[in-house]
């Protein structure tokens, strides 16, 4: 992974944690940034469902801190 990709992923992780709020933050983690897709692991399907309903707001918050191509989608995976 190049330095610029590492910096971008770090910025995304920080912004995503801020957007999640205290309770949900403990149950999710950014797995990867794949192009314009943010891949997030969730500890429970209910949390993924809640975040999916809030995905537009979440992406707005995350994209505010990016100076590159904005993220347009969140893909949720199970935390195994």
Domain CATH for 74: 3.30.300.180
The pTM of the full predicted model, rounded to 2 decimals, is 0.87
Which pLDDT score is estimated for 3?
A: 60
Show the domain range for 66. Answer: 3-78
In terms of Cα–Cα distance, which of 69, 1, 8, 78 is closest to 40?
Answer: 78
Q: List the pLDDT tens digit at each of the 80 positions of the chain.
A: 466 888 888 889 999 998 888 888 899 999 999 999 999 999 999 999 999 999 999 999 999 978 778 999 999 999 87
Q: Which stretches of 12-58 are assigned E, i.e. beta strand?
A: 28-34, 37-42
In terms of Cα–Cα distance, which of 26, 21, 22, 68 is closest to 38?
Answer: 68
Domain count, the chain: 1
Which pLDDT score is estimated for 2?
A: 61
């Amino acid at each position: 992974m190049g330095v610029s990709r590492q910096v971008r992923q770090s910025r995304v992780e920080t912004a995503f944690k801020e957007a999640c709020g205290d309770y949900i933050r403990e149950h999710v983690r950014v797995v990867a940034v794949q192009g314009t897709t943010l891949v997030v692991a969730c500890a429970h399907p209910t949390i993924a469902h809640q975040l999916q309903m809030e995905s537009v707001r979440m992406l707005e918050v995350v994209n505010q801190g990016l100076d590159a191509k904005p993220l347009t989608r969140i893909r949720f995976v199970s935390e195994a």
